[in-house]
């Protein structure tokens, strides 16, 4: 009877020792002797050159390997929605399907990447090697997007994501995954479901949304060239196809305050002017290409016009005819505005602020002027009154009866306002009144 059994395990091998069908040990390379008089031990050699371990009791062994945390073994248990890509010594080797897998990793450099197929799209730097080395027609659809192509991915008829150029896997089976390949060379996305596409946050690195409100217009440039004018609404542009520039131009009427302008008049009086200018954009392209800031350019032209017009007038002329000054200013600025793509609607002088000493002087001048006007009016009235009296005297002199009536009116007024004693002598007032009657 043989009581001892000898065993030699080579460098590329491991030995699995079972006792009555139960895993007992894993032997590393070396020489061994077993005392096994009852023949209860069973030894199985494993060639580690074969990474993938196959055994009738694989599930039992896998649990045993994990329990003792053996460094030579990698246990991979894949659910129905999982797949695994296995790389051996830096090269793609195979795809593992759902189930239990045991891999020997002692002699080979093994990397396992587990993938969740519930995520509809898979992308990786290793994907070109995976696609070349595996047949994936049953598992996934290979999507290879060129530089001018983008893809819109729909899962169960709901938008999920947008894809940039590159190589992708679209997993089959768990969901209805559909990729809509789009020619992006036109840069602008036009799609019947554009709102749903832009509402998905995953598109932020693939699509550039741009909204134009009512009363505005959008301009878009590609590599420095104007490509189009955008009407109010939401627009979307593919990224990565050149240097894209989007500009928003306000078409509604705007107001420009030209405040605190200190200007010297022709008669050397320094005053401060505040003006207000209303304008709108007439040519959107010119307003953003001719000058860096069209409104600032218009402000500068209005400043220069104010200095030119006010500086050519004396203070009195400026104050007495502000409307004419404003009209001249408006005509000058209206002539310059189209150069910047703008249209001036109106320009008016809002305030004229004089220095303190000039205010006092102007008040004195105004006071003297008003006093002179009042004196002139008084003299005119006195002259008119004297002329009227002279005319009355001439009429009374030529008409004695009228003169007597005038005397009676005077007596009546005197009698009404005071105690009056009338002495009637011979040939007195009574006779005269009787003769009048």
Residues 6+ apart with CB under 8 A from 127: 167, 168, 169
For range 225-253, the mean pLDDT: 93
- Of the chain, the percentage scoring pLDDT greater than 90 comes to 48
Answer yes or no: is pLDDT of 437 > 50: no
Q: What is the pLDDT of residue 166?
A: 94
Q: What is the pLDDT of residue 318?
A: 77
Structure confidence by residue, pLDDT tens digits, 81-106: 999 999 999 999 999 999 999 999 98
For range 350-354, the mean pLDDT: 79
> Which has the higher per-residue pLDDT, 368 or 296?
296
Structure confidence by residue, pLDDT tens digits, 8-58: 999 999 999 888 888 888 899 999 888 877 778 888 999 999 999 999 889
Strand duo 270-281 + 254-264: pairing = antiparallel
The dihedral through the CA atoms of 31, 35, 36, 40 has a sign that is negative
What residues does 391 pair with on adjacent strands? none
List, by residue range, all CATH 3.30.479.30 domains of the chain. 254-354
Q: Tell me the pLDDT band of 394, cut-offs 50, 70 and 90.
A: confident
Residues 6+ apart with CB under 8 A from 28: 9, 14
Strand duo 216-222 + 166-171: pairing = unpaired
Strand duo 233-238 + 166-171: pairing = unpaired
58-67, 252-261, 417-426: least confidently modelled range: 417-426
Q: Tell me the pLDDT band of 1, cut-offs 50, 70 and 90.
A: very low
For range 162-176, the mean pLDDT: 90
Q: What is the pLDDT of residue 436?
A: 45
Q: What is the pLDDT of residue 258?
A: 86
CATH topology of domain 254-354: Tetrahydropterin Synthase; Chain A (3.30.479)
Strand duo 91-96 + 225-230: pairing = unpaired
At 330 the three-state DSSP class reads helix
Buried b or exposed e, range 143-179, using 16+ CB within 10 angstroms = bebeeebbbbbbbeeebbbbbbeebbbbbbeebebbb
């Amino acid at each position: 009877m043989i009581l001892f059994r000898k065993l030699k395990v080579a460098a590329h091998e491991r030995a699995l020792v079972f006792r009555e069908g139960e895993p007992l040990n894993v032997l590393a390379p070396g020489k061994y002797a077993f005392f096994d008089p009852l023949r209860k031990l069973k030894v199985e050699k494993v060639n580690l050159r074969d990474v993938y371990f196959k055994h009738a009791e694989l599930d039992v062994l896998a649990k045993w390997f994990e329990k003792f945390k053996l460094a030579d073994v990698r246990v991979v248990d894949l659910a129905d929605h999982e797949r695994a890509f296995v790389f051996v010594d830096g090269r793609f080797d195979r795809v593992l399907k759902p189930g239990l897998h045991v891999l020997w990793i002692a002699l080979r450099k093994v990397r396992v990447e587990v993938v969740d197929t519930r995520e509809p799209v898979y992308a990786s730097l290793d994907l070109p090697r995976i696609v070349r080395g595996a047949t994936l027609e049953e598992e996934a659809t290979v999507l290879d997007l060129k530089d001018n192509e983008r893809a819109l991915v729909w899962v169960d008829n709901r938008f999920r994501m947008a894809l940039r150029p590159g190589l992708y896997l679209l997993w089959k089976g768990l969901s209805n995954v559909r990729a809509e390949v789009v020619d992006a060379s036109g840069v602008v996305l036009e799609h019947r479901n554009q709102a749903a596409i832009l509402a998905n946050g995953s598109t932020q690195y693939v699509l550039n949304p741009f909204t134009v409100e009512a009363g505005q217009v959008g301009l878009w440039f590609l590599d420095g060239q104007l490509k189009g004018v955008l009407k109010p609404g939401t627009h979307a542009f593919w990224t990565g196809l050149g240097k894209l520039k989007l500009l928003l131009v306000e078409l509604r009427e705007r107001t420009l305050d030209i405040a605190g302008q200190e200007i010297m008049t022709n008669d050397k009086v320094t005053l401060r002017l505040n003006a207000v200018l209303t304008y709108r954009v007439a040519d959107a392209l010119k307003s953003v290409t001719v000058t860096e800031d069209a409104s600032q350019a218009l402000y500068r032209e209005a400043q220069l016009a104010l200095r030119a017009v006010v500086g050519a007038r004396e203070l009195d002329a400026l104050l007495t005819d502000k409307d004419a000054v404003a009209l001249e200013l408006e005509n000058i600025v209206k002539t310059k505005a189209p150069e910047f793509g703008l249209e001036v609607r109106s320009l008016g002088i809002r305030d004229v602020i004089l220095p303190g000493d000039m205010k006092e002087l102007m008040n004195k001048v105004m006071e003297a002027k008003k006093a002179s006007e009042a004196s002139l009016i008084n003299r005119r009235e006195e002259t008119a009154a004297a002329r009227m009296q002279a005319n009355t005297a001439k009429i009374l002199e030529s008409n004695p009866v009228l003169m007597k009536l005038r005397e009676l009116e005077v007596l009546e007024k005197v009698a009404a306002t005071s105690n009056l004693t009338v002495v009637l002598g011979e040939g007195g007032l009574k006779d005269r009144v009787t003769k009048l009657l």
